[in-house]
Structure 1
Amino acid sequence: MFDLSSADAMPRSQSRAAQIRALPQTAEFTAALRLAGHDPFVIDRLQNTVVLRRKVWGVPLAMLNRADLGKPGRTLEILQEEGLERTPIILSPERPVPDLARLGALPLMTPASVGRLTLDPDRDIRRAGLEQKWRNRLSHAESQPLRVTRQTMPIKPDHWLLRADASQQRQRRYRSWPAALTLAYAQANPGCAKLFEAHEGQERVAGILVLTHGDGATYHIAHSTDRGKALSAHNLLLWSAMDWLSSRGIRQLDLGVLNTEDAAGLARFKLGTGASVERLGGTWLFWPPLGRRLAPLARLDLKLMGQA
C-alpha cells in the first residue's frame, strides 16, 4: 500500500540540462552549502562548475568534486585566471582524464566506481530491468503487510534516519555528509529531499532519503531494521522511489559509490536494480606554481589510476 497523504510538490522550474550533473556540481547543492555557512565558488566560465574552498592544517585548498573537466588544460588555465594561481587544487573528475598527468597533476587516489540507474518512463521496462533475485525480493516485500509513506524530509536534527546514519558511520568507520548539510539541502531546496518509509502496522522498519536535482536524483541515506530486512522492505522502498522519481520526470538515479570490499552486500543491492557501473576519474593534486614540471613524476604514478 502507498500512502499519498504527504505533500510532495517538487519545483518544475528547474533547468533541463542535456547532461545530468552529479549532485556536488548542482545549483541545489550550492544552495545547501551556502545555507550551511560555506562559501562555494561557482565559475560561470566553466559551465557553473562548483569549487569548494577550505583550509587543511592552515593551508587553503580548492576542490572540484565530480566535475566534468571538459578540456582539462583549458580548465586548469581558467581556474588560475579566476584567482587560484597559488592555490593547491584537488581534482576529482566525473570520468577518467589521463591528460591530467601530462599537465602535471599528481594522482592521489585510484578511481572509484558508481552505480547509475536510467529511469525508463515505462514501469514494465523498469521492472524487467531488475535482476531476478532483486525482483524476487521485491515480490516478497509486496506480499507483506507493509505500508510505504512518502514526505518531504522534516527539518529535524534529531530525526531517526539521521541518527541511524550517524550511528552506522561510527560503526563502519566512514564519513559522509554531516546531518546539518542534509537538513540544509532540504531547507534550501523545498520538495527536493524525499523521505520514503516502510511500516509494518505501527512499527517503522526502514527508510531511505533521495535528493533530487534537475533531471537527476541521488540515493542519499538508507536504514533498515532487522525486521525490515526480513521483509525485504529496502527493495520495496527503492522501487517506490524509482516509480515516484520517474513520474516526476527524473531520468537518472545516482546510487553512489560501489564499495565491493567493505560493503559488498550493498553494492550487489544497488546493481540489482539494473544500474550500470561507471568509473570516476580518481583524485588528483594540481599546484599551479609547478604546473607541467611535475608531469614526469605524474606519469610514473599514472598506472595507479588505471589510466595509463
Structure 2
Amino acid sequence: MAPESLDAPPLQQSPEFAAALAALDHPPWRYPDRAGWLIQRRRFAPGLALAMVSRARITPELLPRELDNAGLGRTPVILAPDHPCPGLGETGAIRLYPPATVAELDLRRPAAERRAAMHQKWRNRLRYAERGPLFIRRTPFPDDPDHWLLRAESEQQRARGYRNWPAALTLAWTRANPGRAVLFTACEGDRPVAAMLFLRHGRAATYHIAHNTDRGRAFCAHNLILWQAADWLARRNCHRLDLGLIDRARLPGLARFKLGVGATARPLGGTWLWWPPTAAIARPATRIFRRVASGRRRWTGQTATFK
C-alpha cells in the first residue's frame, strides 16, 4: 500500500486534518483535480497571501500548470512533498530545507511478525515492561485544555526548544473527529507515569505527542505503550502507523526508539518555495548548475556537484 493511497493518506492530507482546521476557522481547500492535494492558504494583509501543500504526491513536470489551474499561479506556495522529488528544481522551485525522514510501521503484518522484526534490545525492554507493575489504559482524548499531557507537552517544548502543534489544534481535532484521538496511558496503580497520543486518519494513524516520567522510564513504559497501541490499531484495520520525523544526527536516541520497534525509515521530499517571479530566475540557474555537474568541471581541484 502506497503511503499516499486514498484510504490511508498522510495526516496533513486527510479529511480529519481538514475538519480540525475548519473547526479553528481555517478551512483548507481541496484541489478537485488532484485528490491528494489539500491546500492551506493564509492571507496576512491585502495583497499578501501564502499557500502550503504538505505531504502530497507531486508530479514536477505538471506542477506549474496544476498550481495555475488551482488558482495559485501568482501566489507563493510552500511545497513539502511526501516523496523524494528532485525534479522540483527544474520547475523553478527553490529548496528551502533538505528532505526529512519519517519512521513508518507497517501494521498489516501479523503481530508475531511485527514482534520478530523488533531490534533485540527493543524487544528485551518490552518483555521487561510486560513483567513490570504497569498497566495500559486506553481512552479517547478529552476536549480539555488543562489536560495534564498538554501541560507536560508545553513544558517539554519550552525546555527542549522545539515546536509542535498548538494545543488548540489538538483540541480541535478531538472535537471535529470524535474518537479519532486515542490516548494510551501507562499507570502504576492510580498514578499515570507515561502517555502517548495517537491520531487516526483513514486506515492510518500518526503518533502525536507523548510524555514520560522517571518512573515510566524505569519500567520502559513507552515500549509497552507503543506495542499495545500498534496492536490495537492493527486489529481495527489500521494499515500504517506514522511515528513522525527521525534525525539520527541530532536525536539518535529517539531515532533508535522509533526504528527499534520495527519501523522503516522513509525519506520525504524536502521543503520548497514555488513562485512565478522566483521561478523565472531559478529555472535557468538550475539548468546551468546541472550542466556544470554533468560536465564534471573542476573548480579549485574539486569536482563540481549539484544535489
Distance in 2 separating the partners of 1:239 and 1:301: 48
Q: Does 1:164 align with 2:152?
A: yes
> 5+ unaligned residues in a row in structure 1: which ranges?
1-15
1:68 equivalent in structure 2: 57
Asked whether the 8 Å contact 1:107–1:301 carries over to 2, the reply is no
Equivalent AA in structure 1 for residue 238 of structure 2: I
Distance in 2 separating the partners of 1:267 and 1:57: 40
**TM-score normalized by the length of structure 1:** 0.89
Asked whether the 8 Å contact 1:92–1:284 carries over to 2, the reply is yes
Aligned mate of 1:154, from 142, 151, 156:
142
Q: Higher RCO, 1 or 2 (CA under 8 Å, sep at least 6)?
A: 1
In structure 2, the CA distance between the partners of 1:130 and 1:101, relative to structure 1 (3 Å rule), is same
Within a 5 Å distance, the mapping from 1:5-84 to structure 2 comes to 17=5, 20-55=8-43, 59-69=48-58, 71-84=59-72
Shift of residue 296 of structure 1?
Answer: 3.1
> 5+ unaligned residues in a row in structure 2: which ranges?
294-304
Shift of residue 262 of structure 1?
Answer: 3.0
1:256 equivalent in structure 2: 244
Q: Which moved more, 1:201-210 or 1:260-269?
A: 260-269
Tell me the secondary structure at the aligned position of residue 84 of structure 1: coil
Q: Which moved more, 1:74-83 or 1:130-139?
A: 74-83
Distance in 2 separating the partners of 1:283 and 1:19: 25
**TM-score normalized by the length of structure 2:** 0.89
Q: Deviations over 1:81-120 (max 9, x none)?
A: 2221211111110111111111100111111101011013
CA RMSD of aligned residues (A): 2.1
Equivalent AA in structure 1 for residue 251 of structure 2: A
Shift of residue 292 of structure 1?
Answer: 4.4
Tell me the secondary structure at the aligned position of residue 61 of structure 1: strand
Q: Deviations over 1:252-278 (max 9, x none)?
A: 000100022332211110000111111
Shift of residue 72 of structure 1?
Answer: 2.2
2:104 equivalent in structure 1: 116
Equivalent AA in structure 2 for residue 210 of structure 1: F
Equivalent AA in structure 1 for residue 193 of structure 2: V
Distance in 1 separating the partners of 2:132 and 2:156: 27
Shift of residue 48 of structure 1?
Answer: 4.5
1:10 equivalent in structure 2: none
Equivalent AA in structure 2 for residue 195 of structure 1: L
Equivalent AA in structure 2 for residue 39 of structure 1: P
Asked whether the 8 Å contact 2:6–2:36 carries over to 1, the reply is no
Asked whether the 8 Å contact 1:40–1:51 carries over to 2, the reply is yes
Larger Rg: 2
Distance in 2 separating the partners of 1:295 and 1:175: 33
Asked whether the 8 Å contact 2:289–2:306 carries over to 1, the reply is no
In structure 2, the CA distance between the partners of 1:103 and 1:17, relative to structure 1 (3 Å rule), is closer
Asked whether the 8 Å contact 2:207–2:244 carries over to 1, the reply is yes
